[in-house]
Amino acid sequence: MTIVIRAIEESDRAEWEQLYSAYATFYDVEQTSDMRAVVWGWMMEPAHEVNGFVAVADGVLVGFAHFRQFARPLAAGVGGFLDDLFVSPNARGLKAGDALIAAVKAEGRKRGWGVVRWITADNNYRARGLYDQVALRTGWVTYDLDVDG
């Protein structure tokens, strides 16, 4: 089975929604169809910072990557942030994750990014197995500050 990576398109919405819902479930994040509609709208708006690639196998979407540019003041440059990466469980082992990361890396090269950065859950062992092969695990610790609290 051949994996094709391409930019997300308007006709991908229904399949993307199924995958994005499964992604939220995997991370135990409550997500509504309204929330997915917001993210979809971002990706369909050419001027918005969020972009997406999809992985297609035999005409079926099997994965996606959402990414965006960010400023790196200390480096006096820009980088890319890989916000979301997901491959359908029935397509794992087809190297779709590898191909999606490679596509984001290639996009970063085109845009002049110095780095592509992402985070994952500590217990996401399967994905971390891939990430440890293609990227450097940093020693940085991530914090979330609740602005409403």
CA dihedral (4, 9, 14, 15) in degrees, to 10, reads 10
Residue 109 lies in a domain: yes
d(CA 147, CA 97): 33
Residue 14 lies in a domain: yes
Residue 126 lies in a domain: yes
Q: What CATH code is carried by the domain that includes residue 90?
A: 3.40.630.30
Q: Across-strand partners of 84?
A: 66
Q: Residue 63 has which token pair?
A: 């994965």
Structural domain count, the chain:
1
Residue 139 lies in a domain: no
CA 142 to chain centre: 18
Domain span at residue 13 reads 3-134
Tens of pLDDT, residues 45-89: 999 999 999 999 999 999 999 999 999 999 999 999 999 999 999
Residue 140 lies in a domain: no
Tens of pLDDT, residues 1-46: 799 999 999 999 999 999 999 999 999 999 999 999 999 999 999 9
Residue 65 lies in a domain: yes
- Position 149 scores a pLDDT of 79
Residue 94 lies in a domain: yes
Q: Is 143 left (phi over 0), alpha (psi -120 to 50) or beta?
A: beta
Q: Is the pLDDT of residue 127 over 90?
A: yes
Cβ contact 55:96 at 8 Å? yes
Residue 143 lies in a domain: no
- Position 1 scores a pLDDT of 78
pTM for this model (two decimals): 0.95
